[in-house]
Chain A
């Protein structure tokens, strides 16, 4: 039996004047689940997150968080949540540790709890030695970790992460993923938006692929790849002149050929043998690469566009 849903959205819609940012999406998230919204910029991910976080009112549809409607019970809903916004909004003029304490005060938490808790969270975020530093002295990755630590001050059971690693270097991203993974192990429900497929693959049990405010597909990363792609992909580059015209000559190789401006993708369960077929046709790509299919390919298949423009 599935654990009870902590978030239920039904036909959730948000319009800004003429623009429909979120167009009737429905989903459920169970307790302890790690749920992702994957899509390009402007897909409506952040708007959805803001509605869940009770800081933006929906235009229509139903939404319930821990059984509460964020429209009528904003403070009660937000008391359940930890929120990591897309843009850090730390108190730059306060010291690192004080940022956590001040934030905890918004939940009415007493200092007797907040002081040791702040130290515990700084350790978790690997920022203990920065406790007395000013926030503006921190690197981007450190600020991000501090924002995550801050979001945990009230021991939320649900954590909303809006593009948690956008703009970070690979090493900082890996540290962050490790921390988020630990939270998941502790049973925290994670809801995250991302346009990085590797992030979604690393962190999400289940995800929805959104584009233009609508859900294009739903499932676990593995099941989505299985459903919409072959096991492997052969990437070929023939140079920008030829990429667009060579498609015809590649017909019949693999299960499907996708022609992009900079490269040609051949979907096949066995990439190496597809490459041999290409060579047999005396086509000489400048570069070739065989890789596993990813969510990027799923997205491309579903929308005909890449995730990151």
Chain B
């Protein structure tokens, strides 16, 4: 390994700050960030979280001369999953994911970023979703449910997001959601073809221009359709709609689906029934009558973007607690603001780190140790990351979205 120079490059510091790393001088190197960074849970990776603000102050990020060392540095810049565990703990209010995002913006402008992310950015620009699926198929998930297109006068626009609209597994989350909303008599419609990727993941991966384009496309589609309230499946859509789109001219209210579910239960519009054993769990058939009375042990994983970043901890739990026959468990020390990231954020979903470098592998292990049979999530990224881990590790754990569990109980 080449020795990394620490001679300051002031002009580089200036462009990193200009690209958005505005709070780097608040860092006093206490290292609290490192104590909560999910990379510290993986054995194979050394990711010194605390070094980035100082490295940015010195203009010494992704600036090595040597080809191999530079490749390692760029990879490091792309390791941050934007879970914001460090932001939550920092006594000085330094946003390290933001610092790295500033660096990514400069790299992306010059095409100097991981090849696996390039098709994702291209596809969003090309057809409006990271899967590269045609826009006219965006409504296909709702075909059998007769979900209408959004019309003025409807209360909510349901925005399933890209994966629940296209991915065969995630479509079950969208259809479950629609079934629940119909059952509760909620007035809602969808945008279908006019829905575009929210752009949250690629913005965090550094592709600012394509994010801006995606945001403007959605903002004008919502405005033209007369949308006032949007309810979303993905916390990633939620956070960018709620915290970022308003700065770009958006004028609508946004709700995460678990917030609406909880409200509907509170209002008595949804009355979950006893949840019988889930057939997919592969429970043995013996002493059936006894088993049917046992509650299903479900452990809830807080998605970083929903919990830490938007403070929504109680509504998802409130929904689960209101399903009879379901016992809600917690992952001891790694719950609520200390939840361990699935690794899917900020482009992580597409980076495909090797075994030993996957946060999701650690998280599903934590879930299994609680004795749970079901790992409940409220985010399409988490669901994908955890299902991959459960499959590759061959674990007896079912990963389900809260919408799927709720739909089962109605």
Partners in one complex: no
By a beta-carbon cutoff of 8 Å, the part of chain B in contact with chain A is none
